[in-house]
Structure 1
Amino acid sequence: MPDQHRAFFAQLPFVLIGSVDQSGQSWASLLANPPGFISSPDAQTLRISAMPQGSDPLYHSLVPGASIAVLGIEQHTRRRNRMNGVVTAVNPSDFVITVHQSFGNCPKYIQARQVRYQKREAVTQARYHNSLDLELCRTIEQADTCFIASSHPQAVHGPQSMHGEGAAQGVDVSHRGGKPGFVKIIDNNTLLMPDYSGNRMFNTLGNLSLNPLAGLLFIDFDSGDLVQLAVRAEIIVDAQQIRDFNGAERLLKLHITRILHTYAGAHLHWESDVQYSPYLGQL
């Protein structure tokens, strides 16, 4: 991991995590703590001093040998760096990752927001759903940002990946952004997401073409609510369907199989002022 990436992660108040559960389902999660909670003792190691709550699928996926992905994003500067690797140690208050791959991404479609860590004292409630209700629909309909986790079919939950093929067969988590409401609700179990021109790395699409099980994370930047979706993704390239989404190169049809709604689950405070990405004007 380059020194620039190591310093970048160390200054963040939150990161996004991609993981795989025992059934092979990918999930996207958020971890937050005061800046400095992420450290890198050397170029091959990342230590994260924050743990998910027990209801988050990540809680049970943090085992030595598990494939894992990390996305660091600094919203107000639109900087983002990604890495993936393998969990090598899990302690009561932190876990350690051996880095297989670390790379930067362009600032496309990131909405600029100021954010700071803010511990929420109230007991966090988490509820599982099998389909969207009105409250969840409102969160998605208002969203200009989400995160998607995907994985290679050989990315695994347990110790087997300690001796695997590295980054090429691991987990990935990435950012998606657009105008508010860019993710369309087809029905209570189906979403449609445009896929715009990005970094041309095709990490997510490459994984989805081999393994359709993906995880989405929506954040309510006002309440701090987290909405995690387990989905089965279908890549749509039909021009007739794509033409209704300006700027889209393809669509992701996302069939929802499980939902976790965590109330005020993000220990963060976002300022209300938002500067939308200049790239949205090209859509």
Structure 2
Amino acid sequence: MATYHNGELAVQERAGLTDQAGFSLGGIHETVPPVARQFLAEQPAIVVGAADPAGRLWATQLAGEPGFLRVPDPRTLVIDALPVPEDPLAGVLRTARDLRLGMIAIEPATRRRMRLNGRAHRDGGGLRVALDQVIANCPKYLQKRDYRRAVPGETGPRTAATGPALSTAQQEKVRRADTFFITTASDGGDADASHRGGNPGFVQVLSPTLLRWPDYVGNAMFLTLGNLLLNPAAGVFVPDWETGAALHLSGTARTVWDTAETARTPGAQRIVEFSVEAVHEVSSASPLRWSEPGYSRFNPPVS
């Protein structure tokens, strides 16, 4: 039976949404339903999150031809892909053995998404994940996009750049972003990956090492904020939809409950601040190229 951990329960209570959270608990399962198997089989990518050997959390994307995500039985997900060698999670995923993995698959063209969490093992050219949680998510704040595959000559040599803080160009990428993904983990190490979306500018860059974004109305589960209450470690992945580049950030995050600060941000119920400790950017990380976005009608305005 699905349950919430202490961090999730505490955040639900503080937000005054315990009843709604109890209703939303019905969306957390231990198995993949048949309709979701078909959804996964149609996807060209999945975002995954995990900890590196130093304990830092990162989020990244794995891509393949539709069908690379398979559900051989209701409690198992097979991912027939591994990250590029320059990826910050390349080492741990290529040697995975009982690795706590958070995952989210999205279909921007239809604004559908689902989260899956479990324990991953390296299996041939990919991963086999024993699932602990399968979570239905609402389509809010997801921008509509169609994809294609990069053609020969469209991608240059893959390069990687690392550092302790965001460069000027990287800060501008974050300011322009309408989507990012965040990985968190419970105090027991169970990983989760989630999506955040909004109009460009919804993520504020306060400094090269400090980001801030609004926490909008959601399903009241508070899986991300509940994890952060117990374990502040977090990883952020900002995709470049046009070029396939990937901006990976690792650090810590906290929830700001100050009502005066929240009131200054349209649509915000709370604020999340993310302190950047490590930056890892990879060019041409993905073979996918995506169309211009159709912004979600649920996106609040950006002040």
When normalised by structure 2's length, the TM-score is: 0.85
Match for residue 103 of structure 1 among 122, 125, 135: 135
Match status 1:172 vs 2:192: yes
Corresponding position: 1:149 with 2:183: yes
| 2:198 and 2:300 in contact (8 A); partners too | no
Q: Distance in 2 between matches of 1:109 and 1:121?
A: 29
Q: 1:72 aligns with which of 105, 119, 123?
A: 105
What's the % identity of the aligned pairs?
A: 34
Q: How do 1:215-226 residues align onto structure 2 when only pairs under 5 Å count?
A: 215-226=235-246
Q: Is the Cα contact below 8 Å between 2:179 and 2:197 reproduced in 1? A: yes
SS of the aligned residue for 1:60 comes to helix
Distance (Å, rounded) in 2 between the aligned partners of 1:45 and 1:69? 14
Alignment of 1:1-283 (within 5 A): 1-62=32-93, 63-91=96-124, 93-118=125-150, 122-155=156-189, 170-272=190-292, 274-281=293-300
- 2:120 maps to amino acid: V
Q: Distance in 1 between matches of 2:155 and 2:284?
A: 10
How far did residue 115 of structure 1 move? 1.3
> What amino acid sits opposite 1:39 in the alignment?
R
8 Å Cα contact 1:233-1:253 kept in structure 2: yes
Matched with 1:162 is none
Please name the residue that 2:19 is paired with: none
Please give the alpha-carbon distance, in whole angstroms, between the structure 2 residues aligned to 1:235 and 1:275. Answer: 29
SS state of the match for residue 24, structure 1? coil
- Distance (whole Å) between structure 2 residues aligned to residue 154 and residue 21 of structure 1: 15
Structure 2: gaps spanning 5 or more residues = 1-31
Q: Is the 8 A contact 2:184 2:235 kept in 1?
A: yes
**Cα shift readout 1:170-189 (whole Å, capped 9, x = no counterpart):** 11001000110100000111
Provide the C-alpha distance between the structure 2 equivalents of 1:252 and 1:79, rounded to a whole number of angstroms: 24
Instruction: Show CA shifts across 1:162-217 (max 9, x none).
Output: xxxxxxxx110010001101000001110011111111111100100000010001
How many angstroms does 1:102 deviate by? Answer: 0.6
Residue 84 of structure 1 aligns with an amino acid whose one-letter code is N
* Whole-Å separation in 1 of the counterparts to 2:110 and 2:69: 19
User: TM-score under structure 1 normalisation?
Assistant: 0.90
Q: Distance in 2 between matches of 1:11 and 1:69?
A: 20
- Distance apart, 1:129 and its partner CA: 1.4
**Deviation of the 1:234 alpha carbon:** 1.5
2:4 matched residue in structure 1: none
Q: 1:112-170: CA deviations, max 9, x gaps?
A: 01113336653311111111112101111111111000001221xxxxxxxxxxxxxx1
Question: Is the partner of 1:253 in helix, strand or coil?
Answer: strand
The answer (yes or no) to whether the contact 2:199–2:301 under 8 Å persists in 1 is: no
Per-residue deviation, 1:55: 2.6
The residue that corresponds to 1:159 in the other structure is: none
Q: Which runs of 4+ in 1 moved over 6 A?
A: none
Unpaired stretches in structure 1, ≥5 consecutive residues: 156-169
RMSD between aligned alpha carbons?
1.5
Find the aligned partners of 1:117 and 1:14 in 2 and give their Cα distance.
12
Give the SS at the match of 1:55. Answer: coil
Question: Residues 12 and 74 of structure 1 are in contact (CA less than 8 Å); yes or no, is this contact kept in structure 2?
Answer: yes
> How far apart are residue 57 of structure 1 and its match?
2.6
